[in-house]
Amino acid sequence: MHAYISLCLATGIRTEEARALRWEHVDFGDPVANPPAPASAAVWRSVRSHGDTKTEKSRRTLALPEMAVNALWVHRKRQADERVAADMTWSDHDLVFSTRTGAPLDAANVRREFRAVCRAAKIGEHWTPRELRHSFVSLMSSSGVPVEEIARLAGHSNTRTTEVVYRRELRPVLTTGAEAMDRLFPSSSAPVRGTRSSTRNLVTKRH
């Protein structure tokens, strides 16, 4: 589950895309090449009907951060051992994430294992795998990545989807206007507003 969590958190891919990801679509890159070839994952499939992604723009190739590359490399070695142990019972689907016999994971498998991880981490069991995608958007937003680029990374058909579905995660980006205006028109005096408690006291006195 470590590789699954690392990949989804580091790239923001949907759980339905992660479950359908094949090794043939994972490129570990070549850092010593000239120029260096970055590691990447071609997100071209999902577990939806006919293997289609949610939208046309959901088909995308994403560079993989080092944390995802390392996790996938270890995971591949572990999966190779499971394949040997399974012997004739192994189902070869070339899936990156599968059961111990190579069979596709269903949503219940992923939710159960994810909750076990959350329970072990003592953060509660109310979290779901899709929280990883929300966390990715939030991290990108707080790092100053423009919403247009976040939409492309998330595979959204347009920025409106990103802004509506992830409006809470995008709040840090929406403060840019106010911050820019404060820099352009710096205040030379102390703030005229008080604290919430002082405001309530003022209202009470007036009544």
Catalytic residues, by residue number, are: 14, 54, 133, 156, 166
Backbone angles phi, psi at 43, to 5 degrees: -90, 90
Residues 128, 148: Cα–Cα separation, whole Å: 26
Residues 40, 13: Cα–Cα separation, whole Å: 13
Comparing C-alpha atoms, which of 59, 57, 28, 66 is closest to residue 42? Answer: 59
- Burial class of residue 96 in the structure, from the number of CB atoms within 10 Å of its CB (0-12 exposed, 13-18 middle, 19+ buried): buried
**Residue type present at position 34:** N
Comparing C-alpha atoms, which of 101, 129, 96 is closest to residue 27? Answer: 96
